[in-house]
Amino acid sequence: MENFLLKLSIMLVPGLMAITFHEVSHGFIAWRFGDNTARSLGRLTLNPLKHLDIIGTIMIIVIGIGWAKPVPVNYNNLHNPKRDMMWVAAAGPITNTIIALLSALLIRIIVPLTEPLPDSSWLQLFIEPILLMLAFSIYINLLLALFNLVPLPPLDGGRVLMGLLPYRQAAALAKIEPYGMIIIIVLVFFTDLFRYTVLPLLGSAVHLIAGPQSGLVFSVTQYLLK
C-alpha cells in the first residue's frame, strides 16, 4: 500500500496535467474557430475535476495510458467545419508535445545542477520528487500525443485525417467512428500492434527530447508502471 501511494504521488500531478491540458486545448481552439460549446459548459478550465473520467484516470495509474471526458465540440458552429475540426483535433497532441518538451528542458537543466550535491542534502531531497514527476511527464505526454495521432476516429489522428481527405473518403472514414473505440481496445489489448508501433516511436521520441536524461525517464516509468 505504501509503495502504491508513493507511485500515485509521483504520477498524479503530471497525469492530470497531461489529460487536462489536452482536453482544454481542444475546447480553446474550437472556441477560437467559432464553437462556444465547451466554454458554455465550463470545460475551458484547468480544474481537472471538470475533465476526469474515472476509468480513464485509473487506466493511467495502472497501465500508463488513459483518457479524460472528451470536450464537446459542435462541428456545425465552426467557421469552416472540415478544416477547423482538423486543427481542433490536432491541438491535443500538439499541447502534449509542448508539455513534454518543457519537461525535458527542465530535467536537462536540473539534473546537471544537482549531481554534485550529496544525496542527503535538503535540496536534493526536495528536487528528487520533482525530477521523478518531470520524467513521468515526458513519458505520459509523449504517449498521449503519439497514441492520439493513430489515424482512426475518434482519436485525434483520425479527425486530422478526415480534414485532409477529400469529402467522399472523409465521409467513409467518419462511418468508422461509432466503432472506433472498440477497434482501438481490441488492437491495444489483444494484438501486438501497439507494442510494435507506438512504443518504438515513444522510445525514439524520449531519446530525442530527453537526450542524456532519457535513461532516467525510462527507469522512472519502468518503476512506476511495473
What confidence tens digit (pLDDT) does each residue in 61-96 have? 666 666 788 899 998 999 999 999 999 999 999 999
Closest CA to 27 of 89, 99, 83, 112: 89
CB-based contact 108:212 (threshold 8 Å): yes
> Whole-angstrom Cα distance, residue 214 to residue 195?
19
> Residue 68 in 3-state DSSP?
strand
- Annotated catalytic residue within 23, 115, 128, 177: 23
pLDDT tens-digit profile of 159-171? 999 999 999 999 9
- Among this protein's residues, is 23 annotated catalytic? yes
Half-sphere exposure of residue 201: CA atoms within 13 angstroms, side-chain side: 15
Q: What average pLDDT does this structure show over 130-136? A: 95
Nearest to 86 by CA among 147, 163, 146: 163
Indicate the burial class of 140 (C-beta count within 10 angstroms; 0-12, 13-18, 19 or more).
buried
Domain-wise residue ranges, the chain: 2-225
Do residues 53 and 68 touch, judged by C-beta distance below 8 A? yes
Distance of CA 50 to the CA centre of its chain: 17
- List C-alpha distances in Å: 158 to 112, 138, 192, 200: 40, 24, 20, 20
In the chain, the percentage of residues whose pLDDT exceeds 90 is 63
Q: Tell me the torsion sign for CA atoms 210, 212, 215, 217.
A: negative
What number of helices (H) and strands (E) belong to the chain?
11, 0
pLDDT at 53 over 90: no
How confident is residue 122, by pLDDT bands cut at 50, 70 and 90? Answer: low
Cβ-count burial 60-97 (b if 16+ within 10 Å, e if not):
bbeebbbbbeebebeeeebeebeebbbbbbbbbbbbbb
Could you identify the residue written with the cell 546537471?
112
**pTM of the entire predicted model:** 0.92
Is the bond preceding 154 in cis, omega lying within 30 degrees of 0?
yes
Rg (CA), the chain: 19
**pLDDT for 114:** 82
Phi, psi of 52 (to 5 degrees): -70, 135
Residue 66 phi/psi, 5-degree rounding, is -160, -155
